[in-house]
Structure 1
Amino acid sequence: MNFSFRPKLLDCLHDYSRAQAGKDIGAGITVGVLALPLAMAFAIASGVSPTAGIWTGIVAGLLISLLGGSRVQIGGPTGAFIPIVYGIVVAHGFVNLLGATLLAGALLLAMGLARLGQLIRFIPVTVVIGFTNGIAVVIFLAQIKDFFGLDIAQVPAEFFERLKVLAAHAHTADLPTVSLSVACFVFLLFYNRLAQHLVFLRRAPGPLVVLIVGTLFAWLLELPVDTIGSRFGGIPQELPSFGMPAVSIHDFGKLISPALTIALLGAIESLLSARVADGQIDDRHDPNQELMAQGIANIAAPLFGGFAATGAIARTSTNARAGGRTPVAGVVHSLTLLAIVLVAAPLAAYVPLATLSAIVMVVAINMGEWHEFRELRRFSWSYRIILLVTFFMTVLFDLTVAVELGMVLACLFFIYRMSDLTRIERRVLSSEQLGPQLCHADGTPRVAAWQLYGALFFGAVNKLEELLDPRLGHPEIVILDMQRLIQLDTSGLEGLENLYEQLAKRRCSLLLCGLNSQPMSLLTRSGFADLLGKSSVFIDLADALSHARRALEAKAQLA
């Protein structure tokens, strides 16, 4: 296995021009400004401070751009991580979240080094749609507390407990908070339509406009609503301290499962984002390099107080639309975030949490592929089951369990379909093919030929048993025409060996013909071809019938 570590940035610098530099800088500033409200909103929704979200965007975003395998990938905290991170914080605390992120980074780095980037694409689209829509619902529900200003100290991470607590505190809804939340939500939901009629809004990111307008309204009207300053004390106007998280060695065992969840989701979302970006800029990303960059970024972010990061589809698409074509745009995006923190951090204290919750709710609505539910009737029942089971398991229980169950169901349905496609049909031999030597005196054939279709594997090997049905007669030679058999596994091989042994007990010979390369290779390596003998493996059916004719003639002469 050849090791390769070559960031996309190196390829882009060969013919880098001043004109492209201007486009990248403009796109990077645009995305950096867009990333500010999203980083704070996603962090607060995840149960951590907005400072952690911003530094995740700065550190992880910088490393993903410098070391990644995509030209335009923008990294940072994303909405998909909200239910996962929130659950880890509630169950294990913020320090252990940093430890889980470090472990996830190591796993992602290992996946990239092992060149497993292409394997992520094997996850069926039904599973991806199911957990994406499920995460969107979980994110939406997680914002109800801040959206309505409910007086709840801690919202449970578990679905049913969360609904119970929200319902019990519904009467504590705060009118000023609800008014501001609804106004920001409606404004952002219809922002794109509004921007079509107002020219000055077309180039301004919707979340940033809502953040500024919502903050101004709350400040000018002196609305009694929670802000970043009242809950978190604002955002420090300084660089964070650098160091390893104070995670006990005894805690690492319980962090393995959360780390696996972060790594799995990070790999899926980053490579999905890179693939979407490829279509926008007509390029092809390196999935293994991207996973290595994601791993390094998630190892580094916790050292600066950040948490889980991955490729962000919305910000990456914005980067491509704004003219970014190289990782330089991603670097500028991170530097823009850094400049905002160092210059304008005190202003963040006035940002209402209601405005941020409205932004996250709209993100949740936009990230879900809701049209897939309307189109379910067009697809097979197996497609519907996999998608719906993954969706409900994500909402009700856990993303890891949902993906695992979705993959198991997908595999089972695939095995069922492949088994259904595998057929063994009896070939009707003409009188010219048989001749007098291959028939008994009463005209019944002494030779039976069968055609195999598809794949003879563990899910279909039982179909060989019908060849031993006594109602089909007792031929002296059985020929298996395997010209249309494309795959044979060890279970199928064992089935052929059992068939050979059962036929031998009946004094019946087994002949094979028309073997393709993969089945022939397995038969040769296993020694079964030697057991049959070269005189029992033929090029085609005609050749096998000729041999059967000669064998029966020789048998008649000996008798």
Structure 2
Amino acid sequence: MADFLSSLRAEWLPGRVQARRDLLAGIVVALALIPEAIGFSIIAGVDPRVGLYASVTIAMVIALLGGRPAMISAATAAVAVVVTPLVRDHGLSYLFAATVLMGLFQIIAGLIRLDLLMQFVSRSVITGFVNALAILIFMAQLPQFTGVTWETYAMVGGGLAIIYLFPRLTKAVPSPLVAILVLAGLSIWLGLPVRTVADMGHLPEGLPSFALPSVPLTLETLQIILPYSLTMAAVGLLESMLTAQIVDDMTDSEGDRRRECMGQGGANIVAALFGGMGGCAMIGQTVINVSSGGRSRLSTFTAGAFLLFLLAVLGPWVGRIPMPALVAVMVMVSIGTFSWNSIPNLRRHPPTSSIVMLVTVFVVVATRDLSKGVLAGVLLSGIFFAAKVRRMFAVERSEADGHAVYRVTGQLFFASVDRFAAAFRGEEPARRVTIDVSAAHFWDISAVGALDRIVARLRGNGTEVEVIGYNRASADLIDRFALHDRTGVETGAIPH
């Protein structure tokens, strides 16, 4: 109990100095969430309030239930792209129902420990994911530079100057917040001809209200929403787990992946019940939060709570915030997110690692789909790993007085069985053959089948065959699946 209370205190009451940093970081994030949420609502084909309410509820609930302090979750493009056909063909109520089911799937994923699949995502894939996301964040700002006045370019430049130079004066206040306030003040005072947040879409008035999705509880409804819910859940968890890994690296700490999975599910269910769309972790806003000093759950909760305050109380003033100020912040995020060391590392790292990273970046940027890029990177990593292990396999043959000894070294699995079989072809037949596998390991039924075929062929030619040196795990596999031999390990007849 004492440990729990100590952990709770560290996550919510980190001390006066850190609490101030968390509060200020949350305010910066709240301002940066507004244009993003509106833009994602437009992508999904819904009213801006659906994305904004989702960002409010998801951020506040994930602060309570999530497993990674300081990570920001809200409405995201990854989920918005998935639900566009559902909204178009069936309407908003089916989106809410699909989001509830999405949350249930994510809770189940946490219960059955699907978060452990992150162990199979290599560092090269994570680096590619980060770089691709940085590129996409920057590309998303480009429309704000088309058909605009020179004042827009000047404000973006000025905003970047404040962001990077103000910390030399003091770090007590996050420089992105200073940039937004200064540029907003100048824009309103001088009446500059620049785009504002209100130009992105109508800001909602009042608070979100609780309501169950108005859809018929039938099998037909389930058939409609099930494919969307599964996809939303998978994409949301994938992006959240990768973002959590990035926050771990940035803060030199470790979150609870399982709790994060279930927390994401709970947050999405609450979002749907309060008129919001689904969402997940946001790497851009998370980087803003951590870079601004956010470290505890307080910063995440503040982001959602302050966004709600802005919408409910200061809506007209929020609408007057100039977009160039927010563009400057997001450009800073893209620069800070990109792994610049990965460029010189292309020559220093193994070629296979560099290829995996570049393929991940290319697929994500080309498809605008983070899940496809990560999947491509993981598959390519697996292929390269299997090929590397395959090359580490060897069979050496020695013969004396009609007795041939084959010493097998390395890992026997589906990718190396062809080399294993080839070592026994084209050799002069011997009266007696010993296959020594004491330096080898059998991993799958492909390896067992290869050994089976070799033993059967040699015995068919009248050769006496003995296999020695099984380790315990290999012996268990052979005893279960081999057709021609038992290992004899359990009786002690064969050394291991």
Bucket of the pairwise TM-score, normalised by the shorter protein: 0.7 to 0.9
For residues 412-491 of structure 1, the aligned pairs below 5 Å read 412-426=383-397, 428=398, 439=401, 446-470=402-426, 472-491=427-446
> Following the alignment from structure 1 to structure 2, what is the Cα–Cα distance between the partners of residues 186 and 247?
49
What corresponds to 1:145 in structure 2? 143
Q: For residues 230 and 196 of structure 1, do their structure 2 counterparts lie closer, same or farther at Cα, with a shift above 3 Å needed?
A: closer
What corresponds to 1:152 in structure 2? none
Query: Displacement, 1:47?
Result: 4.4
RMSD: 3.5
* Residue 467 of structure 2 is aligned to residue 512 of structure 1: yes
> Following the alignment from structure 2 to structure 1, what is the Cα–Cα distance between the partners of residues 235 and 440?
41
> Following the alignment from structure 1 to structure 2, what is the Cα–Cα distance between the partners of residues 125 and 30?
32
TM-score (norm 1): 0.75
Please say if residues 56 and 74 of structure 2, whose CA atoms lie closer than 8 Å, have aligned partners that are also in contact. no
Query: Displacement, 1:115?
Result: 1.1
Q: 1:76 aligns with which of 73, 76, 95?
A: 73
Deviations 1:514-555 (A, max 9, x none): 221211111123355854667996217xxxxxxxxxxxxxxx
* Residue 12 of structure 2 is aligned to residue 12 of structure 1: no
What corresponds to 2:151 in structure 1? 179
What corresponds to 1:155 in structure 2? none
What corresponds to 1:276 in structure 2? 249
What corresponds to 1:298 in structure 2? 268
Q: For residues 134 and 257 of structure 1, do their structure 2 counterparts lie closer, same or farther at Cα, with a shift above 3 Å needed?
A: farther
* Residue 6 of structure 2 is aligned to residue 38 of structure 1: no
For residues 91-490 of structure 1, the aligned pairs below 5 Å read 92=87, 95=92, 101-148=99-146, 173-175=147-149, 178-180=150-152, 182-199=153-170, 202-236=171-205, 238-245=206-213, 249=221, 251-252=224-225, 255-256=228-229, 258-260=231-233, 262-276=235-249, 279=252, 283-312=253-282, 327-328=297-298, 330-399=300-369, 400-426=371-397, 428=398, 439=401, 446-470=402-426, 472-490=427-445
Q: For residues 337 and 40 of structure 1, do their structure 2 counterparts lie closer, same or farther at Cα, with a shift above 3 Å needed?
A: closer
Q: For residues 185 and 315 of structure 1, do their structure 2 counterparts lie closer, same or farther at Cα, with a shift above 3 Å needed?
A: same
What corresponds to 2:447 in structure 1? 492
Q: 3-state SS of the aligned residue for 1:46?
A: helix
Query: For structure 1, which segment, 502-511 or 377-386, has the greater mean C-alpha deviation from structure 2 after superposition?
Result: 377-386
Q: For residues 257 and 132 of structure 1, do their structure 2 counterparts lie closer, same or farther at Cα, with a shift above 3 Å needed?
A: farther
Aligned length: 481
Structure 1: give runs of 5+ residues left out of the alignment.
1-5, 149-172, 440-445, 541-559
Query: Displacement, 1:101?
Result: 4.3
What corresponds to 1:66 in structure 2? 64
Please say if residues 57 and 75 of structure 1, whose CA atoms lie closer than 8 Å, have aligned partners that are also in contact. no
TM-score (norm 2): 0.84
Query: Displacement, 1:91?
Result: 8.3
**Letter aligned with residue 294 of structure 1:** Q
**Letter aligned with residue 119 of structure 1:** L
What corresponds to 1:547 in structure 2? none
Deviations 1:456-491 (A, max 9, x none): 101111122234323x22112221221211343110
Query: For the pair shown, which has the larger CA radius of gyration, 1 or 2?
Result: 1
> Following the alignment from structure 1 to structure 2, what is the Cα–Cα distance between the partners of residues 9 and 30?
27
> Following the alignment from structure 1 to structure 2, what is the Cα–Cα distance between the partners of residues 56 and 231?
17
What corresponds to 1:85 in structure 2? 80
Structure 2: give runs of 5+ residues left out of the alignment.
none
Query: Displacement, 1:384?
Result: 2.7
**Letter aligned with residue 208 of structure 2:** P
> Sequence identity, in percent?
25
Query: Displacement, 1:448?
Result: 1.1
Please say if residues 514 and 538 of structure 1, whose CA atoms lie closer than 8 Å, have aligned partners that are also in contact. yes
**Letter aligned with residue 298 of structure 1:** N
**Letter aligned with residue 62 of structure 2:** I
> Following the alignment from structure 1 to structure 2, what is the Cα–Cα distance between the partners of residues 16 and 138?
34
> Following the alignment from structure 1 to structure 2, what is the Cα–Cα distance between the partners of residues 82 and 97?
15
Query: Displacement, 1:351?
Result: 1.4
Q: 2:23 aligns with which of 4, 9, 29?
A: 29
Query: Displacement, 1:358?
Result: 3.4
